[in-house]
Amino acid sequence: MRVNESKLICTEAVRYQKARPSARTPWHFAALLCLLALLCPFALRAQNFAYVNNQSGVSNSITSFSVDTGGVATSLGTVSTGGTGAPVACAGIDRITVNLASNLLFVSNGGNQTVSVFRITPATGALAAVAGSPFPGGLTLDSCAGISLAATPDGKFLMASSNGAIKTFSIAVNGALSVSSTASLLPSPMVGMKISGDGRFLAVSHQASVSVFSISAVNGSLTAVAGSPFAKTGTGLVGGLDFNCDGTLLYAAEGGATSSITDAWSVDPSGALTPIVGSPFTVAGNDSNVVFLTPDNTILYQSNQGSKDLNTFTVNPDGTLTSIGLASIAAGHTPAGLAGDNSGLFLFSADDAFGLAVFNILPGAVPTLVGDTAIAGAGQIQAVAAYPPRSCAHTDFSVTQTASPNPVTAGLDGSQGIEITAGLSDGDVVVIPAGGSR
Neighbour tally for 70: CB within 10 Å: 11
Asked whether residue 310 is assigned to any structural domain, the reply reads yes
Structural contact between residues 298 and 251, judged by C-beta atoms closer than 8 angstroms:
no
**Domains: count for the chain:** 2
Do 224 and 300 reside in the same domain of the chain? yes
Do 233 and 350 reside in the same domain of the chain? yes
Q: What is the pLDDT of residues 293-313, one digit of tens each?
A: 999 999 999 999 999 999 999
Q: What is the pLDDT of residues 395-427, one digit of tens each?
A: 555 666 666 666 666 666 665 565 655 554 444
Asked whether residue 283 is assigned to any structural domain, the reply reads yes
Instruction: Write the CB contacts of 4 (distance below 8 Å, at least 6 apart in sequence).
Output: none
Do 366 and 267 reside in the same domain of the chain? yes
pLDDT tens per residue, the chain (438 residues)? 333 334 444 444 444 344 444 443 344 444 554 555 444 444 444 479 999 999 988 899 999 999 999 999 999 999 999 999 999 999 999 999 999 999 999 999 999 999 999 999 999 999 999 999 999 999 999 999 999 999 999 999 999 999 999 999 999 999 999 999 999 999 999 999 999 999 999 999 999 999 999 999 999 999 999 999 999 999 999 999 999 999 999 999 999 888 999 999 999 999 999 999 999 999 999 999 999 999 999 999 999 999 999 999 999 999 999 999 999 998 889 999 999 998 899 999 999 999 999 999 999 999 999 999 999 999 999 999 999 998 776 555 566 666 666 666 666 666 556 565 555 444 445 455 555 443
Do 409 and 263 reside in the same domain of the chain? no
Do 228 and 354 reside in the same domain of the chain? yes
Provide the domain limits for residue 16.
3-41+394-432
Structural contact between residues 210 and 232, judged by C-beta atoms closer than 8 angstroms:
yes
Asked whether residue 437 is assigned to any structural domain, the reply reads no
